[in-house]
Amino acid sequence: MKKIADALKSTPILLALVFIAVCFFPSAIIAPSESSVNAIVTAVGLDKNDQDYEVTLMTFLSRPNQSYSEQYEIISCSAPSISEAFTNASLQIGKNISLFHTHTAVVSEKLLEEEDIASSLDYLARVASIPQSCILISTNVTSKQFLEFVQELDKESDINLEELLFYTSNYVLWKYTTISSFYEGYYSPVKCSLLGHLTISQGDVDGIPIKNTENVVGLGDNKDEKKGNSSSESESQEQSGQNDSVKNGSSQPSVSDETQNNDENNSNNMKQLQIINDGSCILIKNGKYQVELTKEQLQGLNWLNNSTSGSVVTLDNVSDDSFNNAKLIYKVQRKQILDRFEFQNGVPVYTANVKLYLTLMEVNGTKEEILKSKEPIYISETVRQLIEKQVKSEIMNSVEISKTNNCDTLDMFERFYDKKRTETRKLMETENIQPEDFFKNVVFKVIVSIFPV
C-alpha cells in the first residue's frame, strides 16, 4: 500500500488518472446505452401547414430482429417553430433526437414557393450536430409523404435514398446540393442556389415503383405529376386531423389518417407509385423557389461547367455521306473550356470556347449504315455542325432561362468581378446595377469545337 502511495505521489499524472477513474467510471458503467437514449435520425422532412411547421423524421430505432435488416420509423410532429417540433418529436418517442447521422433533408415545393427556406432551415443550420454534408432536396409532394415513400422503397428494394442522391449530385448536377452549399448561394452576392429535385408520381412514367402504397398516405388518384397538387390535398387532410403522429412502417396508418384516407387508400392499393429521378433541379433565389430546370436545361448549363464529364449528345435524323435519317449518340469523353471575360463598349462579354472530345457510342440506323461507321471516331462535317448547333442552342436556351428568372447560375458576377474588377465596378456604378442583376447584362458568345477520340 505504501508502495502504491509512493508511486502515486511521484507520478502526479497517475494520480490524475485515478481521480478521473474514480469520478467517471461508475457513472459511465451505470449510464444507459446510447441507442436507448437517442433516436438516430437519417432523414428530415420539413413542411408547413398554415402557421405550423411539420417536421418528419426518418428514425432508426435499434431493436433485436432475426433478419438483420435496419428498421426505420417515420415520426412527424407539428409546432409553430422547427425547434418546438423537434422537441415534440422527442416527447413522442421518449428519446433525444440525434442528427449526427442525418444524410438527407427534404423540403416540399409548396414550402419553397411560400417562404424563404433559409429561416426554416435555420434550426438545422444552427444545430451543429447535423452534418454539413447533409443533402438538401425538394419534392413535389409533402416531405412527409416523400419519406414514407422512401421507407417503403427501402423495404421493397435495395435502392437507397442516400446513394441515389449521391449519384445525382456527383454525376448529374455536378454540384454540391447540401445545406451548406444552399447557404453559400443564399449569402453570395447573387443570392442563388441549386437544389436537387425528386418527384413522386403515378402512372406510366419512368421511375422506381413500389407496390405497397398503403402506408404512403395522401397520394390520391387525381394526383398531378407536377407542382404538388397532391401535397396540398393531403395537407388539408392532415390539418384537420391529429397534428402529431408516430407511424411504424410496418403498421397501419394512424387512426385519423386512416379514417380520412380510407377510400383513397383503397383505390391506391392496386396502383404503383414511382419515385422519379429525372435529373431535374430547382433554382432558388433569396431562399425561394424560382424555376425548375429539366435535365436538358441543366445540361445546357453544364456544358460550361469544367467539372462535368460523361455527358451524351444525341443527334436525330442525321443525313450525310454515311447515314440517312439515322440517330447517332456521342459520349463526351473529355471537355475543355477556355473562357474569356471582357468588356466591349462597356458591355460585359463572356466568350466560352467549349472543346469537346467525343466518341460515337450508338448508331440507330440500317445494317449498312452501322457497318460503315464501325469506327468510334466517326465525325463527318455534317455531324460536326449538328453537334455544334445543338450544344450552342442548349447553352443559349439555359442561359436565357436563367436570365429570365434572374438567377446567376454560372456565377458570372463573381467571375467578372474577379477578372475585370474595375470595369465591373464602373458598370455597376454607372448603370446602378446590383450584383444579383449583373448576369442579365452579360452577353454570351459560345464557340464549340469538336474533336473525335
Partner 1 sequence: MKTISSRQAGIILCVMLLANKILLLPSVLYEYAKADSVFILVLLLLAEIGMVFVFFQLKRKYPNASFYSIIQTQMGVVFAKILYFFIFLYILYKILLVYNVCYMYFRVQVYLDASFYIFVFVFLIVCNSTVLRGLRPLARCMEFFFYFLTACFIFCLMISIANFNKFPLFFDTNVIKFFEGGFKHLFCFGDTLILFLIMEKIKLDKKGEKQISKYAIAISILIVALYVLFYGIFNHISFVHKNAISDIITFSYRFTDIGRLDMVAIVFVMFLSLFQISVALYIFCDIFKKIFNAPKDIYGLVSFDLIFIGIVITASLDYAKTIAIGTVIVPYFAIFLQYMLPIICLILSGLRRREYNEKNS
Does 453 interact with partner 1 (rule: CB under 8 A)? no
Interface with partner 1: number of residues (CB under 8 A): 33
Q: Which of 169, 201, 245, 398 is close enough to bind partner 1 by CB under 8 A?
A: 169
- With binding defined as CB under 8 A, does residue 180 bind partner 1? yes
CB of 96 to partner 1, least distance (A): 8
Residue among 133 and 317 whose Cβ is closer to partner 1? 133
Among the residue ranges 58-66, 77-85, 164-172, 248-256, the one whose residues contact partner 1 (CB under 8 A)? 164-172
Distances (CA, A) of 375 to 312, 317, 320, 359, 360: 18, 19, 16, 9, 8
Cβ closer to partner 1: 129 or 251?
129
Q: Judged by CB under 8 A, does residue 166 bind partner 1?
A: yes
Nearer to partner 1, 178 or 213 (CB): 178
Minimum CB separation of residue 20 from partner 1 in Å reads 6
Q: Which of 53, 72, 86, 183 binds partner 1 (CB under 8 A)?
A: 183
The interaxial angle of helices 229-240 and 143-156, nearest 10 deg, is 100
Closest contact distance (angstroms) between CB of 181 and partner 1 is 8
**Which amino acid, 286?**
N
Give the alpha-carbon dihedral of 63, 66, 72, 73, to 10 degrees: -70
Binding-site string for partner 1 from residue 8 to residue 37, where x marks contact by CB under 8 A and - marks none: ----xx-xx--xx--xx-------------
Tracing cell 405529376 back to the chain, one arrives at 225
Shortest reach from residue 436's CB to partner 1, in Å: 13
CB of 98 vs partner 1, minimal distance in Å = 9
Minimum distance from CB of 111 to partner 1 (Å)?
21
Cβ atoms within 10 Å of 448's Cβ, excluding its own: 19
Residue 414 sits in the site that holds partner 1 (CB under 8 A): yes
Residue 176 interacts with partner 1 (CB under 8 A)?
yes
Q: Does 187 bind partner 1 (CB under 8 A)?
A: yes
Give me the 345-374 binding string for partner 1, x by CB under 8 A, dash otherwise. ------------------------------
Stretch that binds partner 1, among 69-77, 169-177, 273-281, 330-338 (CB under 8 A): 169-177
CB 277 within 8 A of CB 168: yes
Q: Which amino acid, one-letter code, is at 160?
A: N
Contacts of residue 114, defined as CB under 8 A and 6 or more positions apart, other chains included, come to 48
Smallest distance, partner 1 to C-beta of residue 417, A: 7
CA dist., res. 100 & res. 8, Å (int): 40
**What is the residue whose three cell numbers read 453537334?**
387
Whether the Cβ atoms of residue 61 and residue 39 lie closer than 8 Å to each other: yes
| Residue with Cβ nearer partner 1 (104 or 237) | 104
Residue 167 interacts with partner 1 (CB under 8 A): yes or no? no
Cβ-based nearer residue to partner 1, 225 or 414: 414
* 253 vs 348 by CB, closer to partner 1: 348
Which CB, 167 or 271, lies closer to partner 1? 167
From the list 149, 417, 439, 444, which residue makes contact with partner 1 (rule: CB under 8 A)? 417
For the segment 93-152, give every residue that binds partner 1 (CB under 8 A). Answer: 100, 103, 125, 128-129, 131-135
φ/ψ of residue 203, rounded to 5:
100, -170
Query: What are the φ and ψ backbone dihedral angles of 61, each rounded to 5 degrees?
Result: -115, 115
List interacting residues with partner 1 (CB under 8 A): 12-13, 15-16, 19-20, 23-24, 100, 103, 125, 128-129, 131-135, 162, 166, 169-170, 176, 178, 180, 183-184, 187-189, 414, 417-418
